[in-house]
């Protein structure tokens, strides 16, 4: 993730392969060995088909590209 995020921040995560977008909350931030940080998020609702690649018929994590947009500052958790 190139942009800075904060623990508890709300984001909109988009799977560009299947054009699915879902809100989530940052639940973990930690240093990555070498460079950068690891970020974990939790969807605000169950999303069983979010990671699916159209036409693949099954889960394909290698083909998923993520993009995100930060929520409005008024919607961020403190």
Q: Is residue 69 part of a domain?
A: no
Asked, for residue 7, whether it belongs to a domain, the answer is yes
Q: Does some domain include residue 15? A: yes
pLDDT tens digit sequence for 11-45: 999 988 888 899 999 999 998 888 888 889 999 88
Would 36 be classed as within a structural domain?
A: yes
Predicted confidence (pLDDT) at residue 7 exceeds the cutoff of 50: yes
Count up the domains in the chain and report the number: 1
Helix/strand/coil for 67: strand
Residue 8 placed within a domain: yes
Is there a domain that residue 18 lies in?
Answer: yes
In a domain, 66, yes or no: no
Asked if residue 5 has pLDDT above 70, the reply is: yes
* Gyration radius (Cα) of the chain, Å: 13
Please report, to the nearest 10 degrees, the dihedral formed by the alpha carbons of residues 47, 52, 54, 56 taken in order. Answer: -150
Q: Which domain holds residue 40?
A: 1-47
* CA-closest candidate to residue 18, choices 45, 44, 57: 57
Convert the pLDDT of each residue in 37-74 to its tens digit.
888 999 988 888 888 877 665 545 544 455 555 444 44
């Amino acid at each position: 993730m190139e942009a800075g995020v904060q623990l508890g921040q709300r984001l909109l995560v988009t799977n560009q392969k299947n054009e699915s977008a879902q809100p989530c909350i940052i639940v973990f931030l930690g240093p990555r060995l070498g460079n950068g940080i690891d970020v974990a998020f939790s969807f605000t609702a169950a999303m069983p088909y979010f990671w699916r690649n159209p036409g693949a018929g099954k889960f394909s994590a290698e083909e998923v590209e993520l993009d995100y947009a930060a929520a409005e500052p008024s919607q961020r958790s403190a």
